[in-house]
Amino acid sequence: MTTERIAFFYHYTLGPEWQQQIVEKLGARLIDNKILIMPEGIASGGSIFLEVLPGLSVLLLDMTFHVPVAITRIPIDHNYYMVYFDIGDEITTHIVEGSIHKAGYHSKLGMSFMDANSKGILMPPIGERSYSLRLFIEKSYLKELGASTRDLSVNNQLFDESKNTLFFYSHIDSRSKVLLNSLKEQPFTNPSFELKLKSTALYLLGYLVERVSRFEPIINKLSQPDIDNVLKTSQYLLDHLLEEFPGLQKMAELAGMSVSKYKTLFKKILKESPNNFFLNEKLLLAQKLLQSGNFNSVQEIAYELGYSSPNYFAKVYKKMFGLLPAEVLVKQS
């Protein structure tokens, strides 16, 4: 049984014009130049797009795809940045059939920040609800906001596209997550929904600028292969959280770069060293496993996560979350 993926190419714009591509190529219905309803044959649900203020637009997307699609955002030189928030669970765990002890999991990072001229391909899972929000921020506007939070010369360097690429990939910060969770509870059809979406978009922008100002500025020009290669390794780490850290040498090889280049680029994009990134993600997974109710003891979870010493696991867990794993453990019922 082979089902052909529907390949679809598009690009966004700061204004509402981009929506015409979805209407023309996929047969979506456009209402008031802001709400797109997908044709039932492809997906149920739709999206809402609003211009919040000059230099900032927001797109909220709530769709369940029924057929396989490959949606490619074409890198056309555009004068804006895109911030992507995935408002689903970042780590999902489920019991693999037939074995109580093996917990299957899927881990991902919910937020990315990129230049509109980088390419992206999305292959949404079939039959699963995708709920995501995107901000489109005009470059000059973000530069102006950034200038109010840090040293002017640093800001100028960060926004100098001949020397630096702004790009990062991360978890959604807490304040943003609380806002997004509360927005998710509001139906699109509420009369107040557009106001709340605008309010959320503005606060997300504010939190983003505040958060980014705390990042260590790493001035570096990224090529598309650099980005792809580093993200390939971070995904590799996320897919192998139950194992030990593979070592920098191996990671750099996987990325096809020197160790020193790899370390710098990883830190620039993921905001942490590969080793710390791996340990933090492991402990976040530990947190989910402890609360999952699928285990009877901390020891089981420590072994599941590849720690040979449950005591050491308890120590690093406490350091990160302030509580001992035993205090958090929900036992199997």
Partner 1 sequence: MKEVVHQYGVELDWVADLAAQLDGYVEGNCIRIPDEVRPGNRYILPINEDLTAFIIDVTYRRDVIFKLRNTRTDFVGLYFNLTEGESIHIMDKVSRTAGRWGYNLAIFDAEMNGDFQVKSGCTSYMIAIFIKKTALKQYISNIPQHQQIVESIFNPKLNTIVRFDRMSNQAWWLMNELQKASPEGPLYDVFVTGTVYGLIGDYMDQLINQEIIIGQVIAEDLVNIVNSQAFLIENIENSFPGIADLAARAMMSETKYKKLFKKITGVSPNSFFLSNKLSFAKEMLETGQYTISEISDQYNFFSPSHLIEQFKTAYGVPPKEYLTRL
* Interface of this chain with partner 1, residues 282 to 301, rule: CB under 8 A: 284, 287
State in angstroms the smallest separation of the CB of 54 from partner 1.
9
- For the beta carbon of residue 7, count every other beta carbon within 10 angstroms: 10
Dist CA 124 CA 126 (whole Å): 6
Q: What is the DSSP letter of 331?
A: B
Binding mask 171-210 for partner 1 (x = CB under 8 A): xxxxx-xx--x--------xxxxxxx-xxxxxx-xx--xx
Dist CA 199 CA 194 (whole Å): 9
State in angstroms the smallest separation of the CB of 297 from partner 1.
18
Which is nearest to 122 in space by CA: 130, 135, 275?
Answer: 130
CA distances (Å), origin 125, targets 65, 104, 105, 252: 7, 17, 16, 30
Binding mask 84-123 for partner 1 (x = CB under 8 A): ----------------------------------------
State in angstroms the smallest separation of the CB of 238 from partner 1.
16
Minimum CB distance to partner 1 smaller for 177 or for 240: 177
Q: For residue 46, how far is the Cα from the chain centroid?
A: 20
| Number of shown-chain residues binding partner 1 (CB under 8 A) | 38
Burial degree of 295 (CB within 10 A; 0-12, 13-18, 19+): buried
State in angstroms the smallest separation of the CB of 144 from partner 1.
6
What tokens does 158 get? 């960060």
Contact flag: residue 139 with partner 1 (CB under 8 A): no
Binding mask 35-54 for partner 1 (x = CB under 8 A): ------------------x-
Interface residue list for partner 1 (CB under 8 A) = 53, 144-145, 148-149, 171-175, 177-178, 181, 190-196, 198-203, 205-206, 209-210, 284, 287, 320-323, 327-328
